[in-house]
Amino acid sequence: MDEILLEDELKTLLPDAIQESWREFAGQAAKLQRLSRQIAKAAERWDLRFLRQRLPEAAQLAGTVAAAADRADARLRDWRAADSAAGVQAYAEAIEQAAQQMRLPLQGSFPDYEVFPLKLSLDLSAEQATVSRRRTSTLEPRALMAEVQARHQALHRSSFNQERFMKALTSAHALLREAGRAKNMDVPLLGIYGVLTMRSGTADYTKSEFAFDIYRLRRESNMVYDHHQLSFLNARSGNLPVPNAKGGTDALGLLRLVKVEDDG
């Protein structure tokens, strides 16, 4: 959709009258803030002439700010974003357009998206969004996607301890084999994920984050731990979607360990 047309469509979600009332209040409040700082400095200097001139102006401006706040509140009070079907559709398109402009790998459809490994859920009825368990009240499409982009970049720049993750995988693999959860060296990844979350004592480690750690591990050239080669395979069911180096996605459901003989 053309960007200008999209802006027009978004007005069905957030009417001009509401936005204008916000701008009016913000402008008057900024004037009062500037004047308040000047008055505070004059009071420190005992600048009585300035105070006599500007205090009445501040009182009048405070009344103007209060009136602007009342108007903005009245226009917003009975309006809900989720009430406009056309507006909601335009909002979804604006989110997707913002992601495209920021070159974010957005997947899914309104109201649930993913920028791997981040989950983005939009709830216009509650007037909030959730980015992987973290709630935000930022709803403006570009501002919201900028928050997602910042978290996405931070995740990809964050350090990754390859040895520690392989140790956790092989330990969970051994535990499940001992418990009879696997008939051979292929152990279900979802079972391993369950062991890892149980050991951490928290459900904060999501499947998407587990898949992201597998993605980061597979980027490494050497996936050998304790004389075992780690391989991730497809399963008949219970697969996790994990991006690959070619820009596609692999469906992975099993972890296989293969004994590696020492050189020499």
Secondary structure string (H, E, C) spanning 227-257: CEEEEEECCCCCCEEEECCCCCEEEECEEEE
Report yes or no on 201 lying in a domain. yes
What is the spatial distance between Cα 73 and Cα 84, in angstroms, rounded to a whole number? 19
Same domain, 65 and 108: no
Query: Is residue 134 included in any domain, yes or no?
Result: yes
Domain assignment present for residue 92? The answer is yes
The verdict on 250 and 179 lying in the same domain is yes
Question: Which pLDDT score, from 0 to 100, does residue 205 have?
Answer: 82
* pLDDT score of 10: 55
Separation between Cα atoms, residue 133 and residue 137, nearest integer Å: 13
Say what the pLDDT of residue 13 is. Answer: 66
Model pLDDT for residues 26-50, shown as the tens digit of each residue: 999 999 999 999 999 999 999 999 9
- Low pLDDT (below 50) residues in the chain: 1-2, 4-6
Torsion of CA 159, 163, 165, 169, to 10 degrees: 170
> Is residue 133 a part of any domain in this protein?
yes
- 188, 182 contact by CB (below 8 A): yes
Q: Are residues 91 and 129 in the same domain?
A: yes
Range of the domain at 14: 3-78
The half-sphere exposure of 80 on its side-chain side, counting CA atoms within 13 A, is 8
198 domain-assigned: yes
Domain count, the chain: 3
In this structure, the answer to whether residues 167 and 140 fall within a common structural domain is no
Domain boundary pick from 78, 113, 140: 78
pLDDT value of residue 5 = 42
Q: Which of 121, 140, 157 is the last residue of a domain?
A: 157
Residue 219: DSSP 8-state: T
Q: Model's pTM, two decimal places?
A: 0.70
Task: Give residue 89's pLDDT.
Answer: 85
pLDDT for 126: 87
Residues 62 and 150 in one domain: no
- Do 170 and 214 lie in one domain? The reply is yes
Q: Which of 56, 78, 100 is the last residue of a domain?
A: 78
- One-letter amino acid at 97 equals Q
For position 263, what pLDDT does the model report? 58
Sign of CA dihedral 197, 200, 205, 210: negative
Whether residue 17 is found in the same domain as residue 100: no
Residue 264 belongs to a domain: no
